Amino acid sequence: MRNEKLNGKVAFITGANRGLGLETARALGKQGIVVVLASRDREKGEAAAAKLRDQGINAESLGFDITKPQDHQKAYNYFAKKYRHLDILVNNAGVWKESDTSSPNSVPKPASAVSPEVLRETFDTNFFATVALTQKLLPHIRKAAAGRIVNVSSILGSLTLHADPASPIYAFKVFAYDASKAALNAFTVHLAHELRDTKIKVNSAHPGWVKTDMGGPDATMEVSEGGKTSAQLATLPEDGANGGFYHLGQPIPW
């Protein structure tokens, strides 16, 4: 039975058929928000949406590859036709190309050895396509009563912490991934500034080190906890933060 206490809001979450994206959708759906799950695999996306519907959540799925401009247009058309606005965009889709996170013996290459191909592939998804999608859907978000944009980043995108020998991430450097998330954080700052006089809020989220396919089995947080920060930033009140970088309500240095 679906949640009958819908609050009129609709959210679009990329990379949402599993892991962080799915948990974010679950958290938002439990608050009465219609969640649209974007997934490259249409069958997996629909299966994930069906599981959420079984839990009383109003969930839909959309076959979607963030690296394909035609899919950006498809998403634009979907929300234009069905909802005529978009309240929440969670840019969750991302890739990690530099090591096998499921293997404890897999070590990322140093910056001097990362190939241009890996850099391009990482930035194509984590930065360029994410920026393009946000730009495409922004007209719909402007129509919302109080739009929220959440860019799912990582503490590994913090240049401040990477430069500090005393920080917990100082020794763990994954050049292409880290650089792509730092660039995404820059987009957060710039877009938030552009929209500062509107009711739209833009923030970066560090989900934490979560036991997903990307996070690996040694991560410290369970998958069920992985969507909390994104869900918090997606539902900020009118006086909530704008242009910040957070993990579970705590600021992270850029």
DSSP the chain: ---S---S-EEEESS-SSHHHHHHHHHHHTTT-EEEEEESSHHHHHHHHHHHHHTT--EEEEE--TT-HHHHHHHHHHHHHHTS--SEEEE------SS-TT-TT--PPPGGG--HHHHHHHHIIIIIIHHHHHHHHHHHHHTSSS-EEEEE--GGG-HHHHT-TTSTTTT---HHHHHHHHHHHHHHHHHHHHTTTSS-EEEEE---SB-STTT-TT-SB-GGGTTHHHHHHHT--TTS--S-EEETTEE---
CB hemisphere CA count around 146 (13 angstroms):
12
Q: What's the angle, vertex CA 198, arms to CA 75 and CA 66, rounded to 5? A: 20
Strand duo 59-63 + 34-39: pairing: parallel
pLDDT at 99: 75
**Average confidence (pLDDT) over 131-138:** 98
* 243 pLDDT more than 60: yes
Residue 83 falls in the annotated catalytic set: no
pLDDT at 104: 56
**142 vs 71: CA distance, rounded Å:** 20
Residue with tokens 């930065």: 127
Q: Does this model's pTM top 0.85?
A: yes
pLDDT at 187: 98
pLDDT at 218: 53
Other CB atoms within a 10 A radius of the CB of residue 201 amount to 23
**Average confidence (pLDDT) over 14-32:** 95
pLDDT at 8: 87
**Average confidence (pLDDT) over 104-130:** 92
User: Could you read off the pLDDT of 73-111 as tens digits, one per residue?
Assistant: 999 999 999 999 999 999 999 999 987 655 556 678 899
* 72 pLDDT more than 80: yes
Q: Which of 42-56, 87-101, 118-132, 226-240 has the lowest mean pLDDT?
A: 87-101
Higher pLDDT, 151 or 224: 151
Closest C-alpha among 53, 67, 49 to residue 3: 53
CB hemisphere CA count around 42 (13 angstroms):
3
**227 vs 248: CA distance, rounded Å:** 10
Q: Name the CATH superfamily, with its identifier, for domain 10-97+129-155+184-251.
A: NAD(P)-binding Rossmann-like Domain (3.40.50.720)
Catalytic: which of 76, 78, 170, 177? 177
Write the single-letter amino acid at 133. L
**Average confidence (pLDDT) over 62-69:** 98
Q: How many residues are recorded in the chain? A: 254
Give residue limits of the domains in the chain. Answer: 10-97+129-155+184-251
pLDDT at 5: 59
Higher pLDDT, 55 or 218: 55
